[in-house]
Amino acid sequence: MRRAIVHIGMPRTGSTAFQEVLARLRPRLASVGICYPSLAPPGAPGSDDVNHFRLGQALDRRRGGAERREALARLDAVLAATPADTVLLSYEDFAVQRPLWRVPEILSDLFARRGFALEAALVVKPQAEQLASAYALRAQVVAESRTFRGFLRSEGASRRYDYAGRLEPWRRAAAGRVTALPYRDRRCDAPLLARLVDGLGLGERLAPLLGPADLAYRTNRSSGPVAVEASRRLYRLGVHRQVTGHRRLLGHILDDWAWARGLDAERFRGDAPDGLARVAARYAASNARFAAACWGQSWDAVIRGGGRAGRRGPGQGRERQGCRRAHDQPGRGRPQRHRLHPGRRPHGLGRGQGAAGRREAAIRPEGRGGPLIRPDPGDALPWTSSRGDRVSGPRRRDPGIRAAGRRPPSRPPPRSGTPG
């Protein structure tokens, strides 16, 4: 039978780079007998065809039944028409979908009807790194207010990080045809993309198409500790509700701002040694089963970590006691409101050097009322990020008033002794 390889994840393990390289090579893959299908509906933006997230979201019921049927019909039409002997699908959230939706079985049956046998490919890294990446991703889309310790307390026991459990439905549907790779391999120093292509048995076919730049390509850089902490504080202030456009753009601005000043040279790692030790102990048995089934070796003999976890960043490990009360004990303490003030450097960001003649913006405590952010044409806030994303300034609104369910007054009451 022909091969149907489904790259199922994990998230934040080089998936985007793999998908973008395949999308760039799509017009030339047919010459080597490989099909990386375009499954986005007609009229969808080109970015929707870099991977197969629309198919994945349709299968896990995040999209309606009509779109699910249309997505499966498009895939079936591709399988019926392609002369390729290998079809590749890639969506990093396939691995963490609920077993209730029976996604592996649905795809396996569809492939079998067209003469393809399902195979699954998975890239993994230690759960401590995976959790730090997940936390940094939530910060990058300005969706996280908890400290990393608080995040670990709620997410550290999640079954989505049980790799053996995540892989088992795919192993059954694929009749054991599974390729698992470590994100960093103790046995080999080759780039991840080269190891993934070779592990899938496609190295000889793709070698003429892949140049050194493709093999070394990396994208979707993770946020560092400064941007993560800034995002967390801005979320608590409600700034994500006061900008026009997707809040991910605000996260991109924070990343660009930090990187332009030489900050965040290393990705966020988290500083919670006790919590990470509990995570490692929780998943040790599952990791041992996973490694024995996939590699015939112990987990530690194959998986190489990404360096020492727990590099301190702002707000990690040395928080003031008042901040601990506010962040770690719900209902205790109250976060300060801030505004960006031109002319001063950001608190906790160090003395970054901006362009000549440009003033830096800073976060300064402020009492209730007034604008949350006061953009100034002369300050250094990069409202247009290096990715070309345009973000307008926040609206003049007090989130405290909105949270209390009261309308802001149209005008302040007159002071005593002055005319109304």
pLDDT for residue 358 is more than 80? no
Ordered by start, the domain boundaries in the chain are 2-126+160-215, 225-266+336-393
Residue range 109-120: average pLDDT? 98
By CB atoms closer than 10 A (0-12, 13-18, 19+), residue 207 is: middle
Token output for 258:
């930090």
Q: Report how far residue 262's alpha carbon sits from residue 281's, in angstroms, rounded to the nearest whole number.
A: 36
What does the alpha-carbon distance between residue 299 and residue 130 come to, in Å, rounded to a whole number?
15
The pLDDT-based confidence of 5 (bands split at 50, 70, 90) is very high
- Which of 52-56, 392-396, 416-420 tops mean pLDDT? 52-56
The per-residue pLDDT for 368 is: 35
| pLDDT at residue 254, as a whole number | 95
182: closest CA among 266, 298, 277? Answer: 298
> What pLDDT shows up at residue 307?
62
Region 289-295: what's the mean pLDDT? 97
- For residue 316, pLDDT over 80 is answered with no
- The SS3 call for residue 179 is strand
Q: What is the DSSP letter of 11?
A: T
What is the reported pTM?
0.75
Residue 235 CA from chain centroid, whole number: 17
Distance CA 194, CA 216 (A): 8
Q: What confidence score (pLDDT) does residue 348 get?
A: 38
**Whether domain 2-126+160-215 has CATH 3.30.390:** no
Runs of H (alpha helix) within 174-320: 192-199, 203-206, 212-215, 225-237, 248-260, 273-294, 299-302
Q: Which residue has the tokens 């049980």?
A: 162
User: What is the Cα–Cα distance from 319 to 150, expressed in whole angstroms?
Assistant: 13
pLDDT of 310 reads 39
CA distances from 258 to 35, 227, 381 (A): 40, 7, 11
Long-range contacts of 69-77 (CB under 8 A, 24+ apart): 70/41, 71/39, 71/41, 72/106, 72/110, 74/39, 74/41, 75/37, 75/39, 75/110, 76/110, 76/113, 76/114
> Average pLDDT for residues 247-255, to the nearest whole number?
92
> How many other CB atoms are found less than 10 A from the CB of residue 35?
21
**Mean of the per-residue pLDDT values of the chain:** 80
Q: Quote the CA–CA distance of 258 and 385 in Å, as a whole number.
A: 12
Q: How far apart are CA 120 and CA 168, in angstroms?
A: 11
Of 382 and 84, more confident? 84
Residue-level pLDDT at 44: 92
Residue pLDDT, tens place only, 190-227: 999 999 999 999 999 999 999 999 999 999 899 999 99
The per-residue pLDDT for range 10-43, each reduced to its tens digit, is: 999 999 999 999 999 999 999 999 999 999 999 9
User: pLDDT exceeding 90 applies to what percent of the chain?
Assistant: 69
Residue with tokens 């003395």: 351
The H or E element containing residue 153 is helix 148-155
Calculate what percentage of the chain has a pLDDT beyond 70: 73
User: Per-residue pLDDT tens for 166-183?
Assistant: 999 999 999 999 999 999
Dihedral pair phi/psi, residue 180, rounded to 5°: -120, 135
Instruction: For 42-93, write each residue's pLDDT tens digit.
Output: 999 989 999 999 999 999 999 999 999 999 999 999 999 999 999 999 999 9
**pLDDT given for residue 329 in this prediction:** 40
